[in-house]
A = this chain, B = another copy of it.
Amino acid sequence: MNPKKIKDVLSRLTNGQCTISEALEQLRTLPYDDLDFAKLDHHRELRKGIPEAIYSPGKTDEQIAAIASRALDRGDEAVFTRMRQEQHQMLERMFGSKVRWYPKARIATVGMTKRPRKGKVLVVTAGTSDIPVAEEAAVTCELLGCRVERLYDVGVAGIHRLTSNIKQFDSADAIIVLAGMEGALPSVVAGMTSKPVIAVPTSVGYGASFDGIAALLGMLSSCSSGIGVVNIDNGFGAGALATIIVKNKYGKR
């Protein structure tokens, strides 16, 4: 029930056009959605914080364009992940400067308002092949209003690369750690810091890596405390969770 409808009921009641019990009946049988304006307001604000992410693979150009168009029409924002170069070009032809493109992160946005950046998220990768997912996470954090530091290619096969950066860990508000293959890096990082660690298994590797399963199981089974795991290659999810942690620390979005 939108406010206008409730107002009508209340007006008719105050005008004597219906009795209290008639009004009660009308309100009682309101479907849930009739109260949704509250929820929707709340949601809209939420969406301003973290807009819906659209996973682009498998979507046609028409679908991508329609989603972008709808978001712009309602003054909303949309974040497209895993977007191919050609899809982005199509969007740009259609919506011009309302589209922004982050090629390393394979992210495009439409209608995105710039947010002031608070806090700091450290994004760490085990190898160079993890960088595209890492950039998806990093750009997500930046889009949603966090500062980001990147520390790439510090995998456990050369542990000295990691130990030499220990100070960086403690200056972050949240640490996103990406690793494929055996996925050992989050365990080592979480053992070296007292900051929340978000672990992202990547599909880097072959054979018994099973497209990220080895890394996923390793991260879930970690002997270190303080690690939350997201889906394989889910850079956006990691960025969103990091942002939520940072924003809850530094107050209202």
From A23, which residue of chain B is reached at the shortest CB distance?
B10
Contact pick for A184, options B24, B188, B194, B206, CB 8 Å = B188
**Does A249 sit at the interface, judged by CB under 8 A?**
yes
Min CB–CB distance A171 → chain B (angstroms): 12
- Bound-state Cα–Cα, A32 to B223, Å: 22
In the bound complex, do residue B183 and residue A218 qualify as a contact, i.e. CB atoms below 8 Å apart?
yes
With a CB–CB cut-off of 8 A, which chain B residues contact A37?
Answer: 28
**Does A166 sit at the interface, judged by CB under 8 A?**
yes
Contact pick for A31, options B164, B182, B198, CB 8 Å = B164
With a CB–CB cut-off of 8 A, which chain B residues contact A214?
Answer: 214, 217-218, 220-221
With a CB–CB cut-off of 8 A, which chain B residues contact A229?
Answer: 220, 228-230
With a CB–CB cut-off of 8 A, which chain B residues contact A215?
Answer: 218, 221
Copy total for this chain: 8
User: What number of A residues sit within 8 Å (CB to CB) of B?
Assistant: 110
With a CB–CB cut-off of 8 A, which chain B residues contact A110?
Answer: none
Binds B, one of A83-91, A92-100, A151-159: A151-159
In the bound complex, do residue A218 and residue B248 qualify as a contact, i.e. CB atoms below 8 Å apart?
no
From A128, which residue of chain B is reached at the shortest CB distance?
B63
Q: Which residues of A contact B (CB under 8 A)?
A: 3, 6-7, 10-11, 13-14, 20-21, 23-24, 27-40, 43, 46, 49-50, 53, 55, 57-59, 63, 67, 126-129, 155-167, 173-174, 180-184, 187-188, 190-192, 194-196, 198, 201, 203, 205-210, 212-234, 236-237, 240-241, 244-245, 247-249, 253
